[in-house]
Structure 1
């Protein structure tokens, strides 16, 4: 755990995040965890909901942030943040979701050294990952499919499963039930979920539309899992990106949501879980 270094403070001063409570009080991070690298020309900070420690790794607590951190590290010759990583300009930090200009995380903040910092949303991040890594149309289609399947399953799980408040506290850093209600109004908007599935939120109190959707997504995930698992064994640079996304999803479910329906599916495939954790090994 580290305090925010001067260069990261300059970054957040140059790009103030969304106002919270009043017009002058900005959400500022309190902890900074550097990527493990001797030196890097990159000048970026990944803003995430929360972090947890796995062995000596410091990792984001949601699958989208974790996969982004893995891809950033792998593609730039860095290791994931560790408890004893040297302090450097690239790292991850926790930001309350209402501190983000987009009301969702992760966000990628770049440009601390220039004083002209920029903030990119997860949509922009995913677009850059796709444009910078996928030249094969088939793989690009697979990427969109993996994003849609995993993201929709993640969102519907959070909305349908009866999770204790402490789980949301661990995942998103919410402090109380009121903040959780606020978060859930945003969760349904992630990845344009509500816009793409408007019927799920019509007459929600009368018919279990969302629960039925979640059930169908679980079935689709189960049917496609063996095919997606092959991505973890691929030596193709493009397909490895997709493998990182699957690995991040599985790791977060295993860590925090093992008691859910998704967790039950994954618990029956310990070989898959072991493969996913191996992705964290950068040696």
Structure 2
């Protein structure tokens, strides 16, 4: 069975991660859709970094929910499987979806990359190490020094330019390499099943990919408590949260 799964913010929201457009998405009374832009970073990089560091912290303490775990089980049971997620967190990976079976089309929040050159680094482990040192009794003045250092806007060690979070901001192009991975999967043949969960499908490419993947007559299952732009194209509508619906759907598929 060839399976394409598309997920959005609604899947991770059930792990306590606020959605951009949800009522809990605002930060310091600021609209996140106005912070996640190149213009906001150019205007106040420190403010943008403060927000992303807080988001990273929230993600680190979050745990994959039943939806993440169900998708991981499905990925492990299917030879031809691709997950395309709009989420920049690492919950799908922590649930067990292998990197070769997943595309983070909006980037990875734990990547820090240069705003000028090609340098980038994975910051997840580095930040864990800082937290562990604080937990295990580092002296107060050392912790304060580390915290002050952490709050600085990072500079690229290669060219000296400002570093930025490795995510796609509003108004930016999707990453070319990740787009190509999706295209390669779609060109590889029609899917037997398409699952779209936790996304409003506001961006047209979600609908386009779902329809292209199902061109051979595959079922499109939409999992979302509310109607979305994709709903009229779906062959099966499941009006439940992903953490409730996906375990049941996956159990049916692998039974």
For normalisation by structure 1, the TM-score amounts to 0.28
Structure number with higher helix proportion: 1
Q: Which has the higher contact order (CA 8 A, sep 6+)?
A: 2
Structure of greater Rg: 2
Structure number with higher strand proportion: 2
